[in-house]
Amino acid sequence: MQTLKFAVLPGDGIGPEVMKVALEVLEAATEPAGLALDFEEADVGGIAIDKQGSALPESTIGVCEKSDAILFGSVGGPKWESLPPAEQPERAALLPIRKHFSLFANLRPGLLYKELTDASPLKTERIPEGIDIVCVRELTGGIYFGPKETHTLDDGDVVASDTMVYKRSEIERILDVAIASAKSRSGKICSVDKANVLTTSVLWRKTATEYIAKNAPELELSHLYVDNAAMQMARDPNQFDVLVTENMFGDILSDEMGIVCGSLGMLSSASLGTQNNQHGHPFGLYEPSGGTAPDIAGQRIANPCAQILSAALMLRYSFGLNDIAEKIESAVKQAVMDGHRTGDIAFGTDPIGTDAMAQAIKARI
Residue number, 108 or 364, with CB nearest to ligand IPM:
108
- Is 194 designated active site? yes
Residues 6+ apart with CB under 8 A from 212: 175, 179, 189, 219, 221
Stretch of 23-31, 86-94, 163-171, 317-325 contacting ligand IPM, by CB under 6 A: 86-94
Residue number, 35 or 261, with CB nearest to Mn ion:
261
Residue of 37, 41, 35 lying closest to 19 (CA atoms): 41
- Is 255 designated active site? yes
Let me know how long the chain is.
365
Residues 38, 118, 227, 323: which is the catalytic one? 227
Q: Residue 153, class by beta-carbon neighbours within 10 Å (0-12 exposed, 13-18 middle, 19+ buried)? A: exposed
Burial 33-68 (b: 16+ CB within 10 A, else e): eebeeebeebbbbbbbbeebebbbbeebbebbeebb
Nearest to ligand IPM by Cβ — which residue? Answer: 90
Residue number, 115 or 251, with CB nearest to Mn ion:
251
Q: Does 91 bind ligand IPM (CB under 6 A)?
A: yes
Site string for ligand IPM, 214-253 (x = CB under 6 A): -------------------------------------x--
Q: 199 and 246 in contact (C-beta within 8 Å)?
A: no
Residue number, 100 or 188, with CB nearest to ligand IPM:
100
Three-class secondary structure of residue 292 per DSSP: coil
Give Cα separations from 137 to 62, 85, 110, 193, 281 (angstroms). 26, 23, 13, 12, 19
Please pick, from the candidates 17, 68, 90, 193, the single residue that binds ligand IPM as defined by CB under 6 A: 90
How much of the chain is helix, strand and coil, in % rounded to 5? 45, 20, 30
Stretch of 2-10, 133-141, 162-170, 251-259 contacting Mn ion, by CB under 5 A: 251-259
Stretch of 91-99, 167-175, 297-305, 324-332 contacting ligand IPM, by CB under 6 A: 91-99
Residue number, 142 or 304, with CB nearest to ligand IPM:
142
CA 16/CA 308 separation, integer angstroms: 13
Q: Does 172 bind ligand IPM (CB under 6 A)?
A: no
Q: 315 and 338 in contact (C-beta within 8 Å)?
A: no
Question: For residue 350, what is the DSSP state?
Answer: P
97 binds, among Mn ion, ligand IPM, none (CB under 5 to 8 A by kind): none
Residue type, 44: V
Three-class secondary structure of residue 273 per DSSP: strand
- Is 154 designated active site? no
Stretch of 19-27, 32-40, 88-96, 260-268 contacting ligand IPM, by CB under 6 A: 88-96
Q: Does 251 bind Mn ion (CB under 5 A)?
A: yes
Give Cα separations from 4 to 25, 35, 325, 333 (angstroms). 14, 7, 14, 25
Site string for ligand IPM, 45-84 (x = CB under 6 A): ----------------------------------------
90 binds, among ligand IPM, Mn ion, none (CB under 5 to 8 A by kind): ligand IPM
- Is 214 designated active site? no
Residue 271 CB, nearest approach to Mn ion (Å): 12
Judged by the rule CB under 5 A, the positions of this chain that interact with Mn ion are 251
Judged by the rule CB under 6 A, the positions of this chain that interact with ligand IPM are 90-91, 94-95, 251
